[in-house]
Amino acid sequence: MESISHKLIDVNGISMHVAEKGPEDGPAILFIHGFPELWYSWRHHILSLSVRGYRCIVPDLRGYGDSTAPPSVSSYTIFHLVGDLIALLDSLSLPQVFVVGHDWGAIIAWNLCMFRPDRVKALVNLSVAFMPRNPAVKTVDYFRSLYGDNYYVCRFQEYGLADEEIASMDLKFLFTKLLAMRTPRGGAISFSKASLESSKEPLLLPPWLSEEDIEYFASKFQKSGFTGGINYYRCMDINWELTAPWTGAQINVPTKYIVGDVDLTYHYPGIQDFIHKGGLKAYVPLLEEPVVVKGAGHFIQQERAQEISDHIYEFIKIF
């Protein structure tokens, strides 16, 4: 880990913390993390793929870790998030990269490929499948119709409520609970303090997480808070409005999609039929056969680090 370099780069009006390792002249991979995560979520893949000759570029997204967290909710639209990454590639003089995304990072990656396919050689996305824009219903209303007002996406819409509640928790407990979460039925989680603390059973770290890992996440979010990351959810309906010109658009880059079979995102109503019966392929025509990892949860890149690194390598090495 000590061999990973860290720097702050001014991009798109913010200062972005970027972790990097690998030969400067090697093919570059841009890793994009999700919520509530950091560059650190890709620690294993940085080491694994850099020794295979790849230049790994791994930012903390705006609002996270050591990157700037603008105070305004409207500073977290999909245009800001994709714009940050394009500016990062420009600052590093990288005309094209491989992209790997997870969770919100996957959403950003899908949109990056839709807006600027010229900057992406190939895409590996984890957990969150491409969700085509539905012109008939806004995103938050869709989730509310499925799960009600207590669903975390809906609860996050009220500014300050969830932010303060989560920040008041024991963050080591929180990250242990979240990262090891298993939700085979998917979807109906509230992300409330009451629900997260409801279990009386002692929490045990799974073998793929260490005390040091939990300490790193907890210490960074203790400093930054959760508002930046939650603001991504508060922009969901704004993004629905902004992306109207891309209704029906395809993702025209070579793509591999991987999901765990006990990931909550794999149990949204209708999602498995969409992934496996041609719906996803219709929007992502260069999609390889989706990979479903048995027994893996949502934070699949940490839980199955070597397996995911191998999937990434075996896919991108052909380009």
Which of the four pLDDT bands, split at 50, 70 and 90, describes residue 182?
confident
Q: What is the end-to-end Cα distance of the chain in Å, rounded?
A: 28
Which of the four pLDDT bands, split at 50, 70 and 90, describes residue 194?
confident
**Residue numbers annotated as active site:** 103, 233, 298
Mean pLDDT of 33-42: 98
Residue 27 DSSP SS3: coil
Total-model pTM: 0.96
Give dist(CA 100, CA 41) in Å, integer: 12
Mean pLDDT of 204-218: 95
Determine what percent of the chain is predicted with pLDDT higher than 90: 90
Model pLDDT, residue 231:
98
> Which tens digits make up the pLDDT trace of 220-232?
999 999 999 999 9
The answer to whether residue 261 scores a pLDDT higher than 90 is yes
Give dist(CA 124, CA 307) in Å, integer: 13
Model pLDDT, residue 5:
98
Model pLDDT, residue 183:
65
